[in-house]
Amino acid sequence: MTYDELKKLDSEYYMKTFGTRLPVVFTGGSGAVLTDEGGKEYIDFLAGIAVNCLGYSDAGFEAALKNQMNTGVIHTCNYFYNEPQTRLAQLLCEKTGCDRVFFGNSGAEANECALKLAKKYAYGKGKNSSRFVALRKSFHGRTLLTLSATGQEKFHEPFRPTAYDFTYIDANDMNAAKSAVTADKCGVILEVIQGESGVLPLREEFVSLIRALCTEADVPLIIDEVQTGMGRTGRLLAQEHYGIRADIITLAKALGNGLPIGACLASGSFADAFGPGDHGSTFGGNPLACAAGLYVTEKIDGQMLSHVGNMGAYFQSQLELLMEKHPEIIVDVRGKGLLLGAELSEKADAHAVQRTLLKDGFVIGTAGVNTLRFAPPYIITQKQIDLLIETLDRLFQ
């Protein structure tokens, strides 16, 4: 089917949630390179929005999926045990230091599970409350509850009333944190790097304060690692850069390398808050998705994390040099590992840059008000980074 045929059918039958999409249909991929219907190649610096961490056509990943499919068991249901689910649960808990995990199908479901788990913990303590703390400019998902946790008013207005009762505070506001994180709350949810708002890392002292306040109030700290987790920042979890660990951690995106899977992990008494019947999922944790997650989790070892850290540091340094050369265009470069943002001035439009780069054979994302977002596969090379930087340099002349 051609691009024009797909566009016509999409406009006729698909809900208008994505508007007019970018003008390309990808039909193949290898490594960090995608190919369209006409055979044109694109170096991928988006990875399906931080999802395709191993790139495309990873032989081991494909073999893991084929092996599971060859058993004939893609889905049973959670009435029964399944080996890939149990093995993945064990491996994730061992690697993160958490005690238990629940699998869903997306990051939104993982965050929904985390908030529900925190609410159940509060209920078990006799706390009649649905009050939570979240950050402004955050993004936690598209379900009604996770949208409510998202600290951006533009997402709330059409869908009121929102779910639960969220107090929103500004990132890095120490006094606001001290006032908000109290024993009457059910939990605190945050991203240590706010991805959708423009790749905005939190300050270390703020994260440490939130951790201490949650411990003091016996309130679970939920860290949303849907975009930052599974090695994206050069550590398995981005919170490791801050020297802390959350009580509840959510993962998705890179965990499945393209297959839908989300995970909610918890430690200590928080991990035991759910009892039989408190939560569930028909598709969550199915054998095929867990086979994918198991392969990815095993693949993200010290060598790969080192590569992500090195390539991320190099990439960031080149973006910073580009900012020095074009200070009238790039006003800030920020992020960690292979999750980077370059904020543009009013003299440039991030969406226009994105479309121009697509024509030149590069796939990137945007975030926040006017920020270029880069989240390439972990196998990206220095040469591929250099090609993008050279193209941006020419574009900003």
What is the rounded distance in angstroms from the CA atom of residue 112 to the CA atom of residue 42? 35
Q: Which among 293, 190, 286 is positioned nearest to 242, based on CA atoms? A: 190
Quick one: average pLDDT of 288-302? 98
Structure tokens at 344: 């543009």
> 261 CB contacts (<8 Å, ≥6 apart)?
103, 104, 105, 252, 255, 284, 285, 289, 290, 292, 293
Q: Which among 148, 129, 127 is positioned nearest to 139, based on CA atoms? A: 148
SS (H, E, C) 20-63: CCCCCCEEEEEECEEEECCCCEEEECCHHHHCCCCCECCHHHHH
Say if residues 89 and 101 touch (Cβ distance below 8 Å).
Answer: yes
Say if residues 186 and 133 touch (Cβ distance below 8 Å).
Answer: no
Summarize pLDDT for 73-105 with one digit per residue, the tens: 999 999 999 999 999 999 999 999 999 999 999
Dihedral over Cα of 49, 53, 57, 63: its sign: negative
Residue 45 has pLDDT above 90, yes or no: yes
Report in angstroms the alpha-carbon separations of 363 from 26, 36, 44, 335, 367.
11, 12, 5, 18, 14
Q: What confidence category does residue 36 fall into, taking pLDDT thresholds of 50, 70 and 90?
A: very high
Q: According to the model, what pLDDT value does residue 312 have?
A: 98
Q: How far is CA 215 from the centre of its chain?
A: 25
Across the chain, mean pLDDT equals 97
Q: According to the model, what pLDDT value does residue 239 have?
A: 98
Q: According to the model, what pLDDT value does residue 321 have?
A: 98
The residue to which tokens 């993982």 are assigned = 110
- Partnered with residue 189 across adjacent β-strands are 222
Element at 249 (helix H, strand E): strand 248-251
Summarize pLDDT for 123-151 with one digit per residue, the tens: 999 998 999 999 999 999 999 999 999 99
Mind giving me the DSSP string for 126-184? T----EEEEEBT----SSHHHHHHSB-HHHHGGGPSPSSEEEEE-TT-HHHHHHH--TT
**Residue 263 DSSP label:** E
Q: According to the model, what pLDDT value does residue 33 have?
A: 98
How are beta strands 193-194 and 200-201 bridged, if at all? antiparallel
Q: According to the model, what pLDDT value does residue 299 have?
A: 98
What is the rounded distance in angstroms from the CA atom of residue 110 to the CA atom of residue 49? 17
Residue 201 has pLDDT above 90, yes or no: yes
Question: Under CATH, which number does the domain 61-299 receive?
Answer: 3.40.640.10
Would you list the domain boundaries of the chain?
3-53+302-395, 61-299
Residue 365's CB is within 10 A of a number of other CB atoms, namely 21
How are beta strands 248-251 and 339-344 bridged, if at all? unpaired
Say if residues 335 and 376 touch (Cβ distance below 8 Å).
Answer: no
What is the rounded distance in angstroms from the CA atom of residue 354 to the CA atom of residue 182? 43
In terms of DSSP H, where are the helices of the chain? 3-13, 47-50, 59-70, 83-96, 107-124, 144-149, 153-156, 174-180, 204-217, 268-271, 287-299, 302-325, 350-359, 382-395
Q: According to the model, what pLDDT value does residue 25 have?
A: 96
Summarize pLDDT for 258-276 with one digit per residue, the tens: 999 999 999 999 999 999 9
Report the percent of the chain where pLDDT is more than 90: 99
Summarize pLDDT for 145-199 with one digit per residue, the tens: 999 999 999 999 999 998 999 999 999 999 999 999 999 999 999 999 999 999 9
Q: According to the model, what pLDDT value does residue 1 have?
A: 85
Quick one: average pLDDT of 349-364? 98
What is the rounded distance in angstroms from the CA atom of residue 117 to the CA atom of residue 20? 38
Q: According to the model, what pLDDT value does residue 2 have?
A: 87
- The answer as to CATH 3.90.1150.10 being correct for domain 3-53+302-395 is yes
